Structure 1
Amino acid sequence: MKTVLISGSSVAGTALAYWLREQGLTPVVVERAPAQRRGGQAIDVRGAALTVLRRMGLEDQARALKNHSNGMSMLDPEGNELFRSEEFALSSGSLDSDDVEILREDLVDLVHARNDGVEYLYGDSIAAIHQEDDAVTVEFEHAAPRRFDLVLGADGLHSNTRRLAFGPESAYINHLGTYLSVFSSDNYLGMDRWQTWFNDGTNGGAVMTVRDNAELRIYLGFASDPVEYDHRDTEAQKRLVAERVTGFSWEVPTFLERMATAEDFYFDSMAQIEMDAWSTGRVALVGDAAHCAAPLSGQGTSLALVGAYVLAYELGRTDDHAVAFARYESRMRPFVEANQQLAFIDRQTVDPEEATRRVDAVKNLIDLDEDVD
């Protein structure tokens, strides 16, 4: 039975652990955080990814946790309403869609609950990867070295696995000119299943209700060329947002105050990962580590779920990992490339119905039952 080390326990890594075990393999998950990460934004599960959830027996549970919205409004920097809609929302598209918008942590919790018995190494990370003909020896930052048959990187945009096995991030990252932060708050505004967006043409953000109006998710973002910052220094990231998101009235100054004490603050660049190959030897990448589409695409979570399913399936149907990796990439790459293009839709100028049509055109652009020769 093959032993597989998965780096990262968010959507891609957690789903991958589930599907690998379904295929008779033995996954071990290493996660730098001391426990499952909380917080994060509302994410979308669409098309083929809904099929993956259905095959996990989780679709109904995910729909029960779906975030409901009655619409959205757009404000100018002074807080004046520019338009509103009760038919679509910028975060999720058409409100009558069959897609599921759910909090990241809720989706991960659903999948994680199906992984009872899977070994998790929390509070640790891969320090070195030594590939051999028949195995991979992995050195950890804290745990003793171990040998695995395969190593799979599901550790996001700033993948440590990718850096160790493929080289520096700078060779693969394509910045899209925007940075985004997200954090939670109690619903002190009394909003009712609503999203309010604000924008000055360059910087802006949004606030939306979640958890049946009990909480808010607040988003603050700014346009910029690549900025040097410590990915693990949360306080420095908060200062950076506060310095850039200025000149807004309405509730934005209060948002900045609440950001300062938020315990689940997240910040990163809008960027894509572009690689000629997602595997080398006995190491492969999945999800954002392989092909981050950027939150602007709205398809990162769906790509992670589908990629985990396809990779695990291909590893389960052959003893030759090289064949499995090649099949996985052959099936996923057209799907990934089509979905990455969604990040370049200008949602401020493109009609919302047209944006929804473009998403619908590609969200099922993969056959999950395909028998690849």
Structure 2
Amino acid sequence: MKNVLISGSGIGGSALARLLGEQGRTVTVVERAPAPRRGGQAIDIRGVALDVVGRLGLLDRARGARTRMRGMSVLDGDGNEIHRSTESTFSSGRLGNGDIEVLREDFVRMLHERVGDGAEFLYGDSITALEDAEEGVRVTFERAAPRTFDLVVGADGLHSGVRRLAFGAEERFIHHLDMHIAIFGADNFLGLDNWQVWLREGAAGYGIYPVRDNTELRVTFGFEGGPLGPEARTQEAYRALVAARMAPLRWENDRLFKALREAPDFYADAVAQVRMDRWSRGRAVLLGDAGYGASVLSGQGTGLALVGAQVLADELARADGDHTLAFARYEERMRPFVTVNQALVEGRGEAGSPASEEALDRAKNAIVLEV
């Protein structure tokens, strides 16, 4: 198991690349995007995931880059404040709780710097076929020449190509939560000073918070709705859909919709969980959202990816070349952790608030890493 291919250069894939490189393995990372992805919302690193970040040597850097929110306001559809808090925010929970909220792109950049020359990165490419054989996995790429690897790890997100190739159509595994989300950046035209604004009315709402020393905003739109067909998931179609669903909200619509139209880092997708009976088949295994996404509503996607990377790396090291044993142990240890974190979605409060602090504390610490 010396030669490993990881599909996806996000949080889980990059963390695993670093951990496997430390074990002396030859790691290749293939990423569909032409370069490291920019944009995205602030992510939360909590509980046991903080231990993984410490093992990666990034705890001090992550703490130094964390957001510095002072509190939040909750508004009605006209922009009238109906609640405010200087004790907690919807995005990060209780302020000063020891968890770390940091921009996704900042944390991924830290991970890539830790990987350094310890992995080969194939940007602008993807896997088109997997052929499992006794000596390894024959991998066909969209652009690169075919190669054989000992193992293939799918860390390629909700719409995982590795999962599709190894297990079948994604419709079998994706459980929609009847909601869509859109995220993009903008200049801080609201003049927010380390302060979040959340608004919800009816079936739509959004959260806005400043980043980069209050020079930029991150905007998250959310609205209710079922699954969309592939033709409706294009960038242009999604932008139009988001604007139509958010139109009934009346506060700052002109400037928000202008930012929506112009944002180069616009991202949108359905909110969903991935539920599977098993996460490996042959020499292919899934990591993070690809195998057990808990959805953005859980606030624990980053934690699951980081902890999953650590557990998978540990089990590969322990298995003495037996990938079947390593994958079985990985799933045995991770599944209870995944189950309790996916259940957080069921415990969410009203008006877009997260699950209770008590439920989140249980979930984020519901696994023990081996020394």
The equivalent of 2:301 in structure 1 is 300
Partner of 2:356, secondary structure, is helix
Are residues 1:36 and 2:17 paired? no
The equivalent of 2:100 in structure 1 is 100
Are residues 1:66 and 2:61 paired? no
* Cα deviation, residue 330, structure 1: 0.4
Q: Retained in 2: the 8 A contact 1:295–1:343?
A: no
Residues 295-334 of structure 1 mapped to structure 2, 5 A cutoff = 295-318=296-319, 319-334=321-336
1:85-109 Cα deviation digits (max 9, x unpaired): 1101011110121000011101100
* Cα deviation, residue 367, structure 1: 1.0
Q: Which amino acid letter does the alignment assign opposite residue 17 of structure 2?
A: A
Alpha-carbon separation, structure 1, partners of 2:48 and 2:314: 15
- 4+ residue runs of structure 1 moved beyond 3 angstroms? 229-232, 349-352
Q: Retained in 1: the 8 A contact 2:233–2:269?
A: no
The equivalent of 1:169 in structure 2 is 170
Q: Which amino acid letter does the alignment assign opposite residue 110 of structure 2?
A: L
Alpha-carbon separation, structure 1, partners of 2:146 and 2:57: 36
Q: Which amino acid letter does the alignment assign opposite residue 64 of structure 1?
A: G
Alpha-carbon separation, structure 2, partners of 1:132 and 1:324: 18
Percent identical among aligned pairs is: 52
* Cα deviation, residue 312, structure 1: 1.1
Are residues 1:233 and 2:230 paired? no
* Cα deviation, residue 172, structure 1: 0.4
1:124-168 Cα deviation digits (max 9, x unpaired): 000100000120000000111000000000000000000000000
Q: Mark the runs of 5 or more structure 2 residues left unpaired by the alignment.
A: none
* Cα deviation, residue 22, structure 1: 1.4
The equivalent of 1:11 in structure 2 is 11
The equivalent of 2:20 in structure 1 is 20
Q: Retained in 2: the 8 A contact 1:229–1:237?
A: no
Partner of 1:155, secondary structure, is coil
* Cα deviation, residue 361, structure 1: 1.2
Alpha-carbon separation, structure 1, partners of 2:276 and 2:232: 22
Q: Retained in 1: the 8 A contact 2:28–2:120?
A: yes
Q: Retained in 2: the 8 A contact 1:187–1:209?
A: yes
The equivalent of 2:291 in structure 1 is 290
The equivalent of 2:282 in structure 1 is 281
Q: Mark the runs of 5 or more structure 1 residues left unpaired by the alignment.
A: none
Alpha-carbon separation, structure 1, partners of 2:37 and 2:353: 36
Q: Which amino acid letter does the alignment assign opposite residue 79 of structure 2?
A: G
TM-score, normalised via structure 2 length: 0.97
**Aligned-residue RMSD, C-alpha:** 1.5
TM-score, normalised via structure 1 length: 0.96
Distance 1:181 1:350, change over 3 A: closer
Are residues 1:132 and 2:128 paired? no
Q: Which amino acid letter does the alignment assign opposite residue 348 of structure 1?
A: E
Are residues 1:369 and 2:370 paired? yes
The equivalent of 2:340 in structure 1 is 338
The total of aligned residue pairs comes to 369
Alpha-carbon separation, structure 2, partners of 1:174 and 1:351: 21
Distance 1:213 1:146, change over 3 A: same
Q: Retained in 2: the 8 A contact 1:71–1:89?
A: yes
Alpha-carbon separation, structure 1, partners of 2:210 and 2:34: 28
Q: Retained in 2: the 8 A contact 1:153–1:159?
A: yes
* Cα deviation, residue 225, structure 1: 1.5
